[in-house]
Amino acid sequence: MIAKHLRQHWPLWLALLVGVALRIALWGNLPRIGFISDEAEYLAAADWLAHRRGFAWHTSYLWTRAPLYPLFLAAHLAIFGRALESIFFSQTLLSLLNVALIYAIGRKSGSSPGYAGGAAFLGAVALPLAIYPQLLLSETLFITLLLGAVLLLVEPGQRWRLIGGGILLGLATLTRGLLLGFLPLVALWLIWQAGGDWRQRVTTALIPLLMAGMLIGPWALYASRTYGGLIIIDTTGAYNLALGARTAYDGGRSDAPTRNFTLALLDPTLDDTERAALVADSCLAQTDDPGLNVALTKPVTAITQAERQRLLNAEGWCLIWARPWAFVSKTLVELVDLFQINYSGAERLSEGFALGRLPRWYTLALLALDDTLYILVLPLAVLGWMVARQRGLATGLTVIIGLWLLYNVAVAPLLFAINRFRIPLLPFLFVLAMVALAEIPRWWLWLRGWYGLSGLTLALVLWLIAATPYAYLEPRAPEAPSRWASYFGPYPSAIAAARLAWDSRKHYEAVERLESAFTRNDLAAMTTALADPDLPAYASAFGAPLLAARQGQPEQGLILLDVKQPLYSWQTAVVRGELLRQLGDLTRARQWFGLTLVDDWNPVGWAWRWLHPPRLPADRIDLADDNDLGYIDGFYLGEFDPVLGATVRWATETAHLRFPAAATGEPRQLCLQAAANWPADLPQPTVRVMMGEIVIGTLTPDHRLQEFCLPLPALPAGSDYIVTFTSPGFVPDALDLVRRQGPQVGDLRVLAFQLDWAEVR
């Protein structure tokens, strides 16, 4: 039996084997540099759920979310802690299940095992479907539920299929609220394809809706009670409506006005004047809307998420009615953007590609398994749908796939369109593309006449939009970027961007070699790395002065910095501070370390790797005093804590202190002043203090600043003391994430303990 199954469905097993191999190759190797898109939000909400704090995190965020994906994450956090690998493993299994579901749907479309296996193979190798399992985004789970629902409902003759399909639809809706508007279309589809009289048809349609409603209803009741008014799934739609309307109204893509409008109704640290200023340019303020005026008279803590939803909806519609044709024009532009490739989209993990940050294998994978695959599949899918309709292949399946594609194409541009919105469409495009390939010998038959020609025309139009070969003809200034490019064309087309990423990789590798040399304090390697012709100018601008300082010539380093002044950056600002510190001029050094340009990046990790700071006065580190860079690692930006009455830095769950040349050959003491101003409903942390692998003691800080002292072993005179702290951490409330802006946007903070100062005695 097993052998027969393997022979019959060998294309599926081949696709799964390839999918497993690709996912193993990608495991832990994605070029990530922190959280992207909604990852930090999902993880924070899940962390609160895992600590039995309910959905309270979203009460102070810009919007609320559908519950299932945060619950999915929370279950992993509760069992495995913050080891994200457990989540990635589960999502990888789901992505492989999706490959099998694509195959099953391909078979339902009338395709042979070979062509259904081809669709599964595309699902296995498509890079977005392979990398999303290692992202904290809901798409992988959502696709599993959606594909499962379609597979069950496409043959509605058996009641268990209707019940199971309805349950999966309900769960999918609780994963992404966008599906809520699609449920009526599913009901109409079921009525159309079901057999029997009208009563039987309506019953067939009602069973899945009732099952979905039995899942959605309790959540809607809970959300409405928790968030202070009617909320069926989430409030992201209201925020996105206001954002899309504002984009049309302003003719730009800034989210600052919509964000400011929401913060005026959300941030308790703002006074009445600041709140009024944030909404001053809103449409509701311009029209003296009484609802907004009443909300602004309330304390922020009295404004619920439901009220914010109502005001954001009102703001969105106010902006649309103010400039309706601008909204129509914006929607058409977003429709084009939905089909085009945005090479630098956050979910592609391509940030910094122009600097060479992407490994060359990843650059090739993006081009071949994402962009090229997409522009080949898109027109084939259109032809496959047209052929399937003409041949009468799996009519019910063809209709529901068409409805799902059209629904997304209609809804997404009304708000805003990003490449991520295409991900739940890809499995169905793969199935339709293989239907088209299977019918190649009969294309002349199926594509003739007005119906076939219209399908061929639509396929060609969509291909032209997605591929943009005409971008090469765009009149533009030399070296200016193209406005039309997507796949073909000058930069920022996928081909041009991939070439740039490939060519610049050697420069990035040269910077990595330089950084490695500085981290090892290898003067010979530093000199060699700085002489590398592939080293970019920005790295030489701070690398050469740093080498001069390592060679005992900080004055020469300052001269080199002045020569490189046109390449001024936060790195050169930090290096100037380091050179002044080497010269003993701490006053001027603090001025450079304390620049807003530097604070925006909080470059403690960079300074830890690159700098070799001098011995501290009295072997004492004062945290957040504009002289701690290079001595600390794993700490967030300093901030004043009114409860403690001091300016401190929060430590992450793993942090380090460095005391250069503090060893005397005799045992010494590490003394520090610390606190842990944790929420009252969480237990206070125990902090382990280590040197290397040796634990030298533990700390139990609480809500007060206290002094702790621990013994340090004797080290040879002039050696560095490097101390490591490990501690559990907690995720702060949503406003903490909202306030991360600029380079720190999306930086989810996990706070362990607060440090005021530390010294070796």
Contact 526, 547 (CB under 8 A): yes
Mean pLDDT of 127-151: 97
Taking the C-alpha atoms of residue 287 and residue 48, their distance in angstroms, rounded to an integer, is: 39
pLDDT (0 to 100) of residue 155: 81
Paired with 654 in beta bridges are: 726
pLDDT (0 to 100) of residue 718: 93
Q: Tell me which DSSP letter residue 694 carries.
A: E
The CA R_g of the chain, rounded to the nearest whole Å, is 29
Residue 646 dihedral angles phi and psi, to the nearest 5°: -150, 155
Mean pLDDT of 636-661: 95
Residue 466: which of 370, 389, 390 has the closest Cα?
A: 370
Query: Which of the four pLDDT bands, split at 50, 70 and 90, describes residue 12?
Result: very high
Query: Which of the four pLDDT bands, split at 50, 70 and 90, describes residue 2?
Result: low
* pLDDT tens digits, one per residue of 487-542: 999 999 999 999 999 999 999 999 999 999 999 999 999 999 999 999 999 999 99
Q: Tell me which DSSP letter residue 696 carries.
A: E
Indicate whether 582 pLDDT > 80: yes
pLDDT (0 to 100) of residue 412: 84
Tokens matching residue 281: 């340019």
Tokens matching residue 182: 């699609």
Indicate whether 416 pLDDT > 80: no
183 or 392, greater pLDDT? 183
* pLDDT tens digits, one per residue of 666-720: 999 999 999 999 998 899 999 999 998 899 999 999 999 999 999 999 999 999 9
Query: Which of the four pLDDT bands, split at 50, 70 and 90, describes residue 745?
Result: confident
Exposed, middle or buried by CB within 10 Å (0-12, 13-18, 19+), for 195? exposed
Non-local (6+) Cβ contacts of 297 within 8 A are none
* pLDDT tens digits, one per residue of 239-274: 999 999 999 998 877 788 999 999 999 999 999 999
Taking the C-alpha atoms of residue 290 and residue 307, their distance in angstroms, rounded to an integer, is: 13
Contact 558, 578 (CB under 8 A): no
Residue 403: which of 128, 150, 111, 103 has the closest Cα?
A: 150
Phi/psi-derived region of residue 697, left when phi > 0, alpha when psi is between -120 and 50, beta in every other case: left
Non-local (6+) Cβ contacts of 62 within 8 A are 239, 259, 262, 266, 734, 738
Taking the C-alpha atoms of residue 205 and residue 193, their distance in angstroms, rounded to an integer, is: 10
Paired with 711 in beta bridges are: 669
Indicate whether 165 pLDDT > 80: yes
Mean pLDDT of 80-90: 94
Mean pLDDT of 603-631: 95
Say how many Å lie between the first and final Cα of the chain, rounded.
75
CA-CA-CA-CA torsion sign (210, 216, 222, 223): negative
pLDDT (0 to 100) of residue 565: 64
Residue 688 dihedral angles phi and psi, to the nearest 5°: -90, 135
**What would the 3-class secondary structure string for 474-534 be?**
CCCCCCCCCCCCCCCCCCCCHHHHHHHHHHHHHHHHHHHHHHHHHHHCCHHHHHHHHCCCC
Indicate whether 446 pLDDT > 80: no
Taking the C-alpha atoms of residue 456 and residue 454, their distance in angstroms, rounded to an integer, is: 5
Taking the C-alpha atoms of residue 243 and residue 256, their distance in angstroms, rounded to an integer, is: 9
Q: Tell me which DSSP letter residue 241 carries.
A: H
Q: Tell me which DSSP letter residue 109 carries.
A: T
Give the position of tokens 């070699």: 513
Indicate whether 394 pLDDT > 80: no
Residue 649 is which amino acid? Answer: R
Contact 238, 307 (CB under 8 A): no
Tokens matching residue 642: 């009114």
Taking the C-alpha atoms of residue 662 and residue 667, their distance in angstroms, rounded to an integer, is: 11
Non-local (6+) Cβ contacts of 79 within 8 A are 86
**What would the 3-class secondary structure string for 572-596 be?**
HHHHHHHHHHHCCCHHHHHHHHCCH
Taking the C-alpha atoms of residue 615 and residue 661, their distance in angstroms, rounded to an integer, is: 6
469 or 196, greater pLDDT? 469
Give the position of tokens 């904290």: 136
Q: Which of 103-107, 390-394, 482-486 has the lowest mean pLDDT?
A: 390-394
pTM of this prediction exceeds 0.85: yes
Q: What is the mean pLDDT of the chain?
A: 92
